[in-house]
Amino acid sequence: MNYRHAFHAGNFADVFKHALLARVFDYAKRKDTPLRYLDTHAGIGLYDLQSDEAQRTGEWRDGIARLLDAPLSEDERALFAPYLWAVGAPSAKDLTVYPGSPLIAQRMLRSMDRLTLCELHPKDIGLLQNNIGRDRRVKALHIDGYMALKAYVPPVERRGIVLIDPPFESRDEFAVMAKACLQAYAKWPIGQYLLWYPAKDTVAVKEFHATLVDAGVKRALNLEFQIEAAVEDGPLVRTGLVMINPPFVIEEEARVMLSALQKYLGRNRGSAFQINWLSRD
């Protein structure tokens, strides 16, 4: 477990993932019944952008900092509003910390909703618990997120969102993530699942998508965003998210959001995005 999210907090992949997560969360809250948010790979929840790790890579400067200072249109601003509200800084110069997925969810939570956060790293779980603070709506557990997914789905609320955001340190992560998601989906087919992935190995990504479709997943929207042209053996420049059972409007909204990310975060002509429903063809 060597992966440290602190190096990447607030980068283009975080902006992409968290802005879409916040949008989905915002829709889920429009129904007047409780919901559960399960984060299988939570991280520490809040990242100091002055830390050695964040300063060393400076990735957040090309991610959240750029979005905060972008001249967003009214439509774009409305769609990013839940995310930007959760980030809580009016402009890049006010940004000192960046919230991870647990804190974004915590900030969006109503009193009737519940959060289950899983983090396996022995040190990070303590940091996560500290960053969450005392909040009876939230449980941060030192547990394998894939095991938790098996145990806690379907939630008592019968309604909610699962984020699966593993570190992709092991070669079989795509297969493990797909298997865990499919087991949960079989038990709870109406849950909303968001599965993050690095879109680097196109063969692995194709196989991952095919695994979900072949197992009978019905409504899965795939979104990818690339910040710049890829170079061989270079850093990650393309990121993806599979949304199972997303709100109907998200396809159109995501088109506006990803086109804004391309415009304001994209470097050179290599920036691109793609949105498609997963299907057998």
Using CB under 6 A as the binding rule, whether residue 3 contacts ligand SAM is answered as yes
The single residue of 14, 69, 165, 172 carrying the catalytic annotation is 165
Query: Taking the complex as a whole, how short is the minimal distance between the CB of residue 183 and ligand SAM, in angstroms?
Result: 15
Amino acid at 3: Y
Q: Which is nearer to ligand SAM, 175 or 269 (CB)?
A: 175
Q: Which is nearer to ligand SAM, 126 or 167 (CB)?
A: 167
Query: Taking the complex as a whole, how short is the minimal distance between the CB of residue 254 and ligand SAM, in angstroms?
Result: 18
Binding map of ligand SAM across residues 72-111, x = CB under 6 A, - = no contact = ----------------------------xx----------
Would residue 165 show up in a list of annotated catalytic residues for this protein? yes
Using CB under 6 A as the binding rule, whether residue 190 contacts ligand SAM is answered as no
Binding map of ligand SAM across residues 39-58, x = CB under 6 A, - = no contact = x-xxx---------------
Using CB under 6 A as the binding rule, whether residue 144 contacts ligand SAM is answered as yes
Binding map of ligand SAM across residues 215-244, x = CB under 6 A, - = no contact = ------------------------------
Among 10, 63, 145, 266, binds ligand SAM (CB under 6 A): 145
Q: How far is CA 223 from the centre of its chain?
A: 12
Using CB under 6 A as the binding rule, whether residue 23 contacts ligand SAM is answered as no
Residues near ligand SAM (CB under 6 A): 1, 3, 5, 39, 41-43, 100-101, 118-121, 124, 144-146, 165-167
